[in-house]
Structure 1
């Protein structure tokens, strides 16, 4: 994703997919065009939640490692290498690699890229913002998380957007409680984002995660009542991952069928956690050190 004369991104050169040792267990979809339809549900036993937690911690640690290397001059492909090697060292498979043909081990979404940016030879510059999205598959479970980072010296607008998007995630998590409909999550996020005039992306949502990378459960980040009325229950596992824009929420899809950008080229930020519904609310699983 190099930049044109207006500072807008365009596709860069993508290197070959990185290899994974045969000793690392692959998700069932690797080598296939589409994953098998998930036949389970989104409520897990304590033992299963512990396995999701382990994968989630690995993903969180991988993002922290990548974050330490986000500086002006580094390429997004180099960040992909760092994450890939960390996951392999921890006997985890990078869930994005080979998912519906995706060619890399993380998603790197820069500036106006809403989500699913593919690492390439783009060189980060001071003033950029970049979202890193990593999912780890370990011991039969996926753990999914993302964070947006500031590169070098960022503008006041960019810093505010990033900080407020992370706060929007926190507010969505606080809305989680057994017996509530999932649409309360988006209501909390959207009501906060509107205070600052931010757009809340509607077409890309949170999702059930665990045995499946995407289970079919949808977690909207906008006020979707009554369309999304799934009742949250203890043991239910899903992601919340709001995407906020400084401008309009209309989007374009690049020819790679993955990279989604704001149509008006406005900045966008995202944060994500995997969590489990508890009797009292929610426990975030994608923390660097676990509990």
Structure 2
């Protein structure tokens, strides 16, 4: 989506705030002993109260309101009977629509007691996203996002999952520009323009290179086997600093 009018920006900010607040409420509720279905139900209630609809459910008939991935699951985990335990690494991905506008956000959380390695991985995963966001702007190269994140990941001894990309968003969950690499690539000559809406969502890992399918047609796992974290914002490119749409109120 390219925002050209103030009411479009207002619509994006409204749904961005809703998904951000949903993620915040779910994050605050996370505790050992609850199931991923319990956590998803909290997200469903928040979205329903705000008059928003789950984007993965309405777009892809995903069997949940949000995606919740635990430990070895790195993305698109189906909420269900899995019990969240002490020390787990839990990724929550919330995307939704309202009034024809879509926004997407996510974060990886640590359930205490926190392993030092998880603490570092999460801290650096959030920084990788922030480094990517800093590359968003009018007439800047889309490939610059992945180049900057790649330099950071390499300097810290991490790998990046190279088949889970950022994407355009706004009037649908996934739209042009599709497949925005958050790892270094060659040959992508596309450039951003003022008003372009996109996600920035690197998957930082301690050894994983690719996401592979599991047995349920949804949940993705790292290959080689490793932990991975994801942090995601929906942003708007401008002539100045990017606008982060998915900030909680």
Asked if Structure 1 and Structure 2 have the same fold, meaning a TM-score greater than 0.5 normalized by the shorter chain, the answer is yes
1:174 counterpart residue number: 134
Q: CA RMSD, aligned part only? A: 1.3
Normalising to structure 1: TM-score of the pair?
0.82
Distance 1:42 1:130 in 2: 32
Q: In the aligned structure 1, how far is the partner of 2:4 from the partner of 2:41?
A: 32
Structure with higher strand content: 2
Which structure 2 residues correspond to residues 18-57 of structure 1 after superposition, within 5 A? 41-57=1-17
* Higher alpha-carbon deviation: 97-106 or 233-242: 97-106
Q: Deviations over 1:31-69 (max 9, x none)?
A: xxxxxxxxxx54443221210110010000000000011
Residue in structure 2 matching 1:261, options 215, 221, 224: 221
SS in 2 for 1:238: strand
Q: Which runs of 5+ in 2 are unaligned?
A: none
The structure richer in helix per residue is 2
Match of 1:198 in 2: 158
Post-superposition Cα deviations, 1:62-121, rounded to whole Å, max 9, x if no partner, equal 000000111111111001100001000000011111432311100001112221111111
Runs of 4+ in 1 over 4 A off after TM superposition: none
2:167 is aligned with 1:207: yes
Matched residue pairs, number? 248
The structure with more radius of gyration: 1
The 1:44–1:136 alpha-carbon spacing in structure 2 relative to 1, beyond 3 Å, is farther
1:226 counterpart = 2:181: no
What is the Cα deviation at residue 250 of structure 1?
3.3
Match of 2:63 in 1: 103
TM-score (norm 2): 0.96
Q: Distance in 2 between matches of 1:68 and 1:225?
A: 40
Which whole-Å CA distance do the structure 2 matches of 1:69 and 1:265 have between them?
29
For 2:170 and 2:241, locate their aligned partners in 1 and report how far apart those are by CA, in whole Å. Answer: 19
Q: Which residue of structure 1 aligns with residue 106 of structure 2?
A: 146
More deviation in 244-253 or 193-202? 244-253
Aligned counterparts of 2:83 and 2:4: Cα–Cα separation in 1: 41
List runs of 5+ in structure 1 lacking aligned partners. Answer: 1-40
**Residue 25 of structure 1: aligned partner:** none
Paired residue secondary structure (1:97)? helix
Query: Does structure 1 residue 235 correspond to structure 2 residue 195?
Result: yes
Aligned to 2:121: 161
- Contact kept in structure 2, 1:178 and 1:281, CA below 8 Å: no
